[in-house]
Structure 1
Amino acid sequence: MKHILLIELNSATNKLFYQLTAQGYCVHHVNNAFDALIKMETLTLDAILLDFAVPKMDSFWLLVARKAPTPVIVIADANNELERINALELGADDYLSHPVNVRELQLRLNVLKRRSQPPLNDTFCEQISFDDTDYTVHLVDKSLVLTQTEYRLFKYLFEHKGKVVTKAELQQRVLHKELGRFDRNLDMHISNTRRKLAQGNLPRELINTVRGQGYSFSF
């Protein structure tokens, strides 16, 4: 269940409170700064909704926006442009106008969640490690045992991720010899490495062929 902290004066007659509850959210309602800070310290929240109608000090809202690891969305007056600008200046991630459309709120929360997540490529890269002693590559929760040459090829491509490495460069840097016109030794090692990736239920496309150019490490 998703937990939302709703900071506003009166939830008893608040349509938003009941709409969110009906959508399966667990809504924690507070109407003052002290209780809001306690909830922020003790709960794992998916979002904080701040109603600008609540009596406040700007310094408090700034503290909330900066302290909270979750998205902060201000509910502002649709006819008060200055209020909306002030909300963003104080550090809010987004704002909505009264009356709040729950569907729009959900969409905005999804956008903010995607922005806060690290890119998939970066996340995947952080979970790849190399063991030079036994030529093993650890990918997430799997291990890939390679020959010395396959290991060095894979590691070289990984270290140059984001660029295309030519066959000539790989042949010289990894195999330590010039690339001959009819030399297929490099292609054989690449093919064997891909086969081992597939056997280990890993994507063989991690080593991507760039036609007419060479190879690249691909996510």
Structure 2
Amino acid sequence: MSNVVILSDDPQSGSSLTEILSQNSHQVTCFSDTETTLDFLQQQNVDLVLLDHHLSSPETLQLITTICKRFAIPILFLSALSEQTNVLDGLQAGADQYMIKPFSAKALLVHIDALLRRVTLEKQRLAFQHCSKQFSFKVARLPLTETEVSLVQYLSKNDGDIVSKATLQKEVLKRELSAFDRNLDVHISNIRRKMFNAGLSKSHIKTVHGKGYAFSEKVAQLSCALMFFL
């Protein structure tokens, strides 16, 4: 579920947008003033800002710039102004997309999904930035859960090293390892399956029996290294 903030200068429009997004599994908070919005963004983890303004005033453009600089949160700018100058001003100020009113609920949801999907990919690429660009791009496109991303990130930071199950359980899953807890193994199995389905090798993550797991971007090198432990 994504956390979306709406800043609208029209109560009726803000209410309508809130209803549309809430009915489509988004967590929505709607504001009518700038300062309250900025305070909320400072305190909460927000995925997207919908800026719903009738006028593209200098204050509105400055707000877009402020959100970009302070929070780096994607912005979808909604406006009734359709002149190319207004569109370009909004984009140059830092808005990621500009939608001209009126638009359908379906069009709005498609734009939101596209923005959130792009942001997710960018976050995953950053998570694997210590790997090669080609490999990190492939991993970033895997449909991994947040926990799975954290596991691959932790393992890949220790490329070639064996990481114990207890360490992964504590550092990533945030709980101690117990004798009958198979949660970690299930996560690793799911990651391998998703890698395989995407054309990557399952062997990027090796099980070292009695020791833990080891990751390597270069599968052949990992296999040779692990021969000393098997």
Provide TM-score, normalisation by structure 2.
0.54
Cα 1:18–1:129, aligned 2, differ >3 Å: closer, same or farther?
same
- Please point out which of 90, 95, 100 is paired with 1:97: 100
- 1:127, CA displacement in angstroms? 2.8
| Distance in 2 (alpha carbons) for counterparts of 1:79 and 1:195 | 55
Alignment RMSD: 3.8
Question: 2:82 aligns to what SS in structure 1?
Answer: coil
Cα 1:195–1:66, aligned 2, differ >3 Å: closer, same or farther?
closer
Which residue does the alignment assign to 1:5?
5
| Distance in 1 (alpha carbons) for counterparts of 2:18 and 2:206 | 55
Cα 1:78–1:115, aligned 2, differ >3 Å: closer, same or farther?
farther
- 1:112, CA displacement in angstroms? 2.3
Cα 1:209–1:86, aligned 2, differ >3 Å: closer, same or farther?
same
Contact 2:76–2:96, Cα closer than 8 Å, also in 1: yes
Superposed structure 1 runs of 4+ greater than 4 Å apart? 198-201, 203-207
Greater displacement, 18-27 / 118-127: 118-127
Which residue does the alignment assign to 2:157?
127
Which residue does the alignment assign to 1:42?
43
Which residue does the alignment assign to 1:51?
52
Structure with the larger helix share: 2
| Distance in 1 (alpha carbons) for counterparts of 2:157 and 2:215 | 17
Question: 1:75 aligns to what SS in structure 2?
Answer: strand
- 1:209, CA displacement in angstroms? 3.6
| Distance in 2 (alpha carbons) for counterparts of 1:119 and 1:70 | 17
Q: For each residue in 1:26-75, what CA deviation from the matched residue of structure 2 results, as whole angstroms up to 9, or x when unmatched? A: 21111221221122122221111112425661323211221123222222
Q: Does 1:27 align with 2:28?
A: yes
Cα 1:121–1:197, aligned 2, differ >3 Å: closer, same or farther?
farther
> How many residues get paired?
159
| Distance in 2 (alpha carbons) for counterparts of 1:96 and 1:8 | 14
Q: Does 1:111 align with 2:109?
A: no
Provide TM-score, normalisation by structure 1.
0.56
**Percent of residue pairs identical:** 11
- Please point out which of 74, 80, 84 is paired with 2:83: 80
- 1:202, CA displacement in angstroms? 3.4
Structure with the larger strand share: 1
Given residue 108 of structure 2, which amino acid in structure 1 is its aligned partner?
N
Cα 1:104–1:12, aligned 2, differ >3 Å: closer, same or farther?
same
Contact 1:50–1:73, Cα closer than 8 Å, also in 2: yes
- 1:108, CA displacement in angstroms? 2.2
| Distance in 2 (alpha carbons) for counterparts of 1:95 and 1:85 | 9
Where does structure 2 lack aligned partners over 5 or more consecutive residues?
131-152, 169-204, 226-230
| Distance in 2 (alpha carbons) for counterparts of 1:138 and 1:105 | 38
Question: 1:28 aligns to what SS in structure 2?
Answer: strand
| Distance in 2 (alpha carbons) for counterparts of 1:48 and 1:70 | 7
- 1:20, CA displacement in angstroms? 0.2
Please identify the structure whose Cα radius of gyration is greater.
1
